């Protein structure tokens, strides 16, 4: 393991080495150890993550993580078939819900995106079948202007293409940076650092994972 990789690891009091972001806060630690990077095929979980990544824009993921149960209750468990039926009164109710992020644009985008998710299911058979088409064949470098010294990218050609395709399909609040964070979380890539206790477990899960079939 290189010195650079080592600098992005942290060993907590439990003696386990984790990615630097997943060691200190208990909520982050559980999310890192139990969820992040594990391949996901469930349509509603995929839609939840897309939606929450949109709500995170301008905020920390920890803020969203701590509100996640409130979001799930407010958005019908992220069943996009139900969320697509939300109307103006639903928006007004959500804007009064202190348990979530009360941002009209993000709320309306989530409702809009639910309808677009239904369209994808009609076309591809499932949201998962559409999403897993975008798994890269190999790790991709960061793309963008200026120096970028972090070992993990924030925008790749695939995340850029995924964002562009969803935008063309009418989705909102899902730019290329958000798309890559989604890909990391849902297991389309394995960005647990070398030396992280979860890296090999996640890679084994990815290798065993069976992609959903297209219609």
Determine the Cα–Cα distance for residues 90 and 95; give it in Å rounded to an integer.
9
Matching residue, tokens 């208990």: 26
φ, ψ of residue 18 to 5 degrees: the values are -135, 165
Determine the Cα–Cα distance for residues 60 and 63; give it in Å rounded to an integer.
5
Determine the Cα–Cα distance for residues 36 and 161; give it in Å rounded to an integer.
22
List all residues 6 or more positions away from 33 whose beta carbon is below 8 Å from its beta carbon: 18, 22, 197, 198
Neighbours of 145 (CB within 10 A): 5
Neighbours of 47 (CB within 10 A): 25
- Catalytic residue annotation: 31, 53, 61
* Helix axis angle, 157-168 to 176-186, nearest 10°: 110
Take residue 121 and report the two structure tokens written for it.
């299911």
Determine the Cα–Cα distance for residues 154 and 180; give it in Å rounded to an integer.
6
Query: Strands (DSSP E) along the chain, which ranges?
Result: 9-11, 17-19
């Amino acid at each position: 393991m290189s010195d650079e990789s080592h600098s992005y690891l942290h060993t907590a009091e439990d003696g386990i080495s984790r990615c630097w972001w997943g060691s200190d806060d208990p909520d982050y630690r559980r999310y890192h150890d139990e969820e992040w990077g594990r391949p996901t095929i469930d349509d509603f979980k995929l839609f939840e993550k897309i939606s929450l990544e949109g709500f995170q824009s301008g905020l920390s993921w920890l803020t969203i993580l701590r509100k996640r149960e409130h979001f799930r209750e407010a958005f019908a468990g992220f069943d996009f078939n139900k969320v697509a039926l939300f109307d103006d009164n639903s928006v007004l109710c959500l804007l009064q819900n202190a348990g979530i992020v009360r941002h009209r644009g993000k709320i309306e985008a989530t409702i809009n995106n639910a309808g677009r998710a239904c369209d994808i299911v009609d076309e591809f058979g499932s949201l998962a079948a559409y999403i897993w088409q975008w798994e890269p064949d190999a790790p991709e470098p960061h793309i963008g202007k200026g120096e970028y010294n972090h070992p993990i990218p924030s925008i790749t050609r695939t995340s850029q293409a995924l964002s562009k395709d969803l935008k063309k399909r009418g989705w909102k609040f899902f730019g290329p940076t958000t798309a890559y964070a989604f890909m990391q979380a849902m297991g389309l890539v394995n960005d647990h650092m070398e030396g992280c206790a979860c890296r090999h477990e996640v890679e084994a899960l990815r290798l065993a994972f069976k992609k959903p079939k297209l219609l």
